[in-house]
Amino acid sequence: MTVVLAPAPSAVITGRRLRVMLVDDAVVVRGLFARWVEAEPDLQVVASLRTGREAVDQLERADPDVVVLDVEMPEMDGIAALPLLLAKKRDLVVIMASTLTRRNAEISLKALSLGATDYIPKPATNREVTTSATFRRELIEKIRQLGSRSKRPVPAPVVPAAPAVPGAAVPHVASPPLAPKPVAAALARDILPRDLAIKLRPFQIATPRILIIGSSTGGPQALTAMVEHLGAVLDRAPVLITQHMPPTFTTILAEHLARASGRPAREAQDGEEVNAGTIYVAPGGKHMRVVRKNGTATILLDDGALINFCKPAVDPLFASAAEVWGQWVMAVVLTGMGSDGSRGAQAIVAAGGSGVAQDEATSVVWGMPGQTAATGACSAVLPLPEIAPKIVRLFSGDRT
């Protein structure tokens, strides 16, 4: 099968700079963020405020595209201000910012369920904020990607032009191509060639026995929605997840997934056996792999270098799963920035497994799933609500 893919739009859709509101009670942090934002040619600061109350009061005047909203502030904190901001501007992109504490992690994930677009964990001290090039890169990239995403038209879903026949090429069509526009070099890996045709491969004949998932921006919401509908798959297969998240956040995510799925879900532990009926989440700050020890699939955690700017990264999990389980693996790549997971997905299909990617229309950012689809490693590109039902059918032996 072949998908004719419309190009991902550039970082600046409207021809004007993205308007950014900064809300943080620390004057040093506000000043630093403002300098970083103003240094970018496609971004501008339209307000720099101390409290959530000020943000709510000045939202209509400032008319931002993106708000970077601190969690802890006097008068009105971020979680109280969030619904008021969204009530005034429904398409507002809100990025929650907080230090790495359990309380703040819980608040940030709750904010996602209340309509925040994403979160960014701040280093523990102002000095670390000032000196962290990684944090600066992540903040600017999130502002640019998420702000641009909210301004572009929602693409039409990828739909088949004819019934799928195993081994046959079936054309698909996506949304009409957009005119190319300038884009920051830092985002080049999220831009797909204008005339790219994605080939979808048939699903493998072998019924999958292992489910592995990679996700990033927008992932917590997507994962929660997905595991709610996996049903019996969760009882007869292990599920391994790498979500780009720092420590503490992954602990809270696992707890949320346990509640949503009604099944055991926890951060993976180094050296533990992989068993059906459990959801394993890669802990923040560690890459998760699987190895075979004495004939048993076992979790291996490592504190190595960043991969694809991330730790944990999706590629190590996918590549190691391909080596351990081969044709029994079903890989899913959900919403996220960058290209993490694309190389690992290729390893999975080379070993006889299958891959599915979330479509652009339902992704917060179509970087990871789009890049994975572009490699030819996918057998389907689906809207989020269709992924879990498809997986249930595949794990039941259905290939339709």
| Domains of the chain (ranges, CATH numbers) | 18-151 (3.40.50.2300), 200-395 (3.40.50.180)
Catalytic residue, from 98, 108, 148, 216: name it.
216
| CA dist., res. 327 & res. 204, Å (int) | 7
* DSSP secondary structure string for all residues of 56-95: HHHHHHH--SEEEEESS-SSS-HHHHHHHHHHH-TT-EEE
Instruction: For 42-66, write each residue's pLDDT tens digit.
Output: 999 999 999 999 999 999 999 999 9
| CA dist., res. 337 & res. 334, Å (int) | 10
Instruction: For 230-268, write each residue's pLDDT tens digit.
Output: 999 999 999 999 999 999 999 999 999 999 999 999 999
Structure tokens, 378:
């996918």
| CA dist., res. 88 & res. 21, Å (int) | 15
- For residue 113, the tally of other CB atoms under 10 A from its CB is 11
Q: Are strands 210-215 and 329-333 parallel, antiparallel or unpaired?
A: parallel
- Whether 357 shows a pLDDT value over 60: the answer reads yes
Q: What integer is the mean pLDDT of 20-28?
A: 95
The residues pairing with 169 across neighbouring beta strands, listed in sequence order, are: none
Q: What is the dihedral of CA 263, 265, 269, 274, to 10 degrees?
A: 40
Catalytic residue, from 172, 244, 256, 287: name it.
244
For residue 310, the 8-state DSSP code is B
Residue 340 falls in the annotated catalytic set: yes
Task: Report pLDDT for 208.
Answer: 97
- Whether 195 shows a pLDDT value over 80: the answer reads no
Instruction: For 157-175, write each residue's pLDDT tens digit.
Output: 444 433 333 333 333 333 3
Task: Report pLDDT for 248.
Answer: 92
What length is written for the chain?
400
Contacts of 121 (CB under 8 A, 6+ apart): 97, 98, 99, 100, 104, 105, 108, 246, 249
| CA dist., res. 99 & res. 76, Å (int) | 17
| CA dist., res. 351 & res. 96, Å (int) | 40
> Angle 219-227/384-395 helices, nearest 10 degrees?
40
Which phi and psi (to 5°) does residue 20 adopt?
A: -120, 130
* CA–CA distances in Å: residue 66 to residues 121, 181, 363: 17, 21, 18
Which phi and psi (to 5°) does residue 172 adopt?
A: -125, 160
| CA dist., res. 73 & res. 386, Å (int) | 40
Catalytic residue, from 287, 340, 363, 379: name it.
340
Task: Report pLDDT for 1.
Answer: 54
Tell me the whole-structure pTM to 2 decimals. Answer: 0.84
* DSSP secondary structure string for all residues of 40-58: STTEEEEEEESSHHHHHHH
HEC readout, 229-263 = CCCCHHHHCCEEEEECCCCCHHHHHHHHHHHHHCC
Residue 244 falls in the annotated catalytic set: yes
User: Is residue 146 within 8 Å of residue 91, measured between CB atoms?
Assistant: no
For residue 25, the 8-state DSSP code is S
